[in-house]
Amino acid sequence: MKSINVTVILLAVFILTVSPYLQAGNWLGFAVSLSDDDQEMPDIDGSLIVFQQLVEGDWDIYAAEISDPQNPLVLAVAAFTNDQTAPAVSGSIVVWQDFVDTDFGIYGTDINDSDNVFTIADYEQDQADQVAPAIQGNTVVWADNYYGDWDIYAADISNTSAPVVFSVTPFTGDQTSADVFGTNVVWQDVGTSPEDTILYLTDISNTASLVHNIIADFPGEQSSAAISGNQVVWDDSYSGTWGAYVADITLADRPAESAITNPLSQAQNVDIDGHIIVYQDDRNGNWDIFAYNTSTGQEYVVVDHPADQTNPAVSGNIVVWQDSRDDALNIYAAILDGPLMALCTEKPAGDINSDCMVDMTDMALFAQSWLQCNLQPEGACWQ
């Protein structure tokens, strides 16, 4: 009887059944508020989307409630003179950067009472900028150049009439691109070389004694970080092209980092909520939106359209982005469903590739090391 090479057979099955990414998604999406005016920079929390829209020559902040995707409820949040840009949302609170007089400040409102706009940080006549806000719960973070270089500041807005502002990064050099979840703030340290930056995590639970940890310090640039729960994602130029990376920060002083995109294409503008990561990727010749399920390890396409889809954001099973398929840039959304959204409740024993299943792929991986023995001396093997 001829012998059968089990390893070769199983590896062949592995090659045939695993593709670079899954095509099954491609939800195409729907326009949130189709307009002839450009719409950019979307953010989302739950079913509430915020974005900036160019109206009569300046940028204003708009919101769309899409609980009923067929009939989104769209309203103006901040439509003042000059520019209101870079919106972010948590619950019913929307924050943005607002150009007032000579510089940018950080402002906010509750969309249930959008006439009541409150100031978070805008130091009168200082000609310094406060920009790029992010919000989660009652905490807002932003970049501030009040002292001549860029630093990260935060505010507790539990009392919107008297926000409690404090410094997160009292360091030299520039600290930018902040995001927040709970008491953790992630940010980019530019230092003296924008091409070789470091990604940090700061625990702000005790503002009198802040704890800073390095999340990623690879050669190249780590930027545009986002955080959800115990996972941080960011754009990274380590491989020579921009890619999406993720780190488990359960142990903040020993994060476990890994790349989630292929270095043969560019991936940027990463965002995360729960176990779903989204980003724009140019592997198909233009910018499309992709997603990665950290629970199953599956990557899949959200929208693959000949036009460019960029700047995605995600909340739960809803992904939003800015889309160039129309005459102007418009905000589109897709509601993800099906097996690709699966959440792993507990990884079974024997799950080698961490996709929450024990299948032929795991058998193929196991077969690669079949009868391997690293005991010393070698004579101790197979006794």
Q: pLDDT tens for the chain, 383 residues: list them.
A: 333 343 333 333 333 333 345 554 567 789 999 999 999 999 999 999 999 999 999 999 999 999 999 899 999 999 999 999 999 999 999 999 999 888 999 999 999 998 899 999 988 656 789 999 999 999 999 999 998 899 999 999 999 999 999 999 989 889 999 999 999 999 999 866 667 799 999 999 999 999 999 999 998 899 999 999 999 999 999 989 999 999 999 999 999 999 999 888 999 999 999 999 999 999 999 999 999 999 989 999 999 999 999 999 999 999 999 999 998 999 999 999 888 888 877 778 877 777 787 888 878 888 888 878 888 888 788 76
Three-state SS for 63-75 is EEECCCCCCCEEE
Question: To which CATH superfamily is domain 48-144+155-167 assigned?
Answer: Tricorn protease N-terminal domain (2.120.10.60)
How far is the C-alpha of 318 from the C-alpha of 233, rounded, in Å? Answer: 18
pTM of model > 0.85: yes
Residues 6+ apart with CB under 8 A from 142: 97, 106, 120, 121, 130, 131, 132, 133, 134, 152, 153, 154, 178
**What are the structure tokens assigned to 132, written together?**
């790029």
DSSP assignment letter at 341 = G
* Unique residue bearing structure tokens 């012998």: 3
Among the listed residues 137, 78, 126, 79, the one whose alpha carbon sits nearest the alpha carbon of residue 104: 126
As a residue count, the chain comes to 383
Among the listed residues 71, 68, 32, 72, the one whose alpha carbon sits nearest the alpha carbon of residue 52: 32
Find out whether 79 and 73 touch, Cβ atoms under 8 Å. Answer: no
DSSP assignment letter at 378 = G
Q: How far is CA 165 from CA 157, 158, 201, 234, 377, in A?
A: 9, 11, 19, 26, 63
Q: How far is CA 23 from CA 30, 290, 300, 301, in A?
A: 19, 10, 6, 6
How far is the C-alpha of 383 from the C-alpha of 374, rounded, in Å? Answer: 13
H helix or E strand, kind and range, residue 14? helix 6-17
End-to-end distance of the chain based on CA atoms, in angstroms? 28
**How does DSSP assign 151-191, residue by residue?**
EEEEEE-SSTTS-EEEES---SSEEEEEEEETTEEEEEEEE
Burial track 304-318 (b if 16+ CB lie within 10 A, e otherwise): bbeebbbbbbbbeeb
Strand-by-strand arrangement of the 130-136 sheet? 130-136, 139-144, 151-156, 164-167
